[in-house]
Amino acid sequence: AQSVSQHNHHVILSEAASLELGCNYSYGGTVNLFWYVQYPGQHLQLLLKYFSGDPLVKGIKGFEAEFIKSKFSFNLRKPSVQWSDTAEYFCAVKDNDMRFGAGTRLTVKP
């Protein structure tokens, strides 16, 4: 079974700093890739997804992620974070089953 690794458990940034959250997966076949976000007290919601085509995908709220097949990675980026980006971020990978990473908690200091 595949596994999904998110290397950063907790990231603390100041507003306007750039963000990159790492996600690596173990499966080498064709996969669908997702980033979900869970704001405090809210539903888990889809931030962006990659199925095929351009490996640089753009999501909501200025987030983007790049699929690098050779590195089995799907890192999430944002050039300038805001306080409202404080949340927990989950990477997920789907072949036959959906697997989630352990999550990265992002705290943005005002």
Partner 1 sequence: DGGITQSPKYLFRKEGQNVTLSCEQNLNHDAMYWYRQDPGQGLRLIYYSQIVNDFQKGDIAEGYSVSREKKESFPLTVTSAQKNPTAFYLCASADLAKNIQYFGAGTRLSVL
Asked if 52 touches partner 1 (CB under 8 A), the answer is no
Q: Site for partner 1 (CB under 8 A): which residue of 23, 25, 103, 106?
A: 103
| b/e burial code for range 25-64 (CB count within 10 A of at least 16 → b) | bebeeebebbbbbeeeeeeeeebbbbeeeeeebebeeebb
Q: Residue 54 is encoded by which pair of tokens?
A: 């351009």
Closer residue to partner 1 in complex, CB, 16/46: 46
Q: Does 12 bind partner 1 (CB under 8 A)?
A: no
**Binding residues for partner 1, per CB under 8 A?**
4, 6, 9, 32, 34, 36, 42-46, 49, 51, 90, 92, 94, 97-98, 100-103
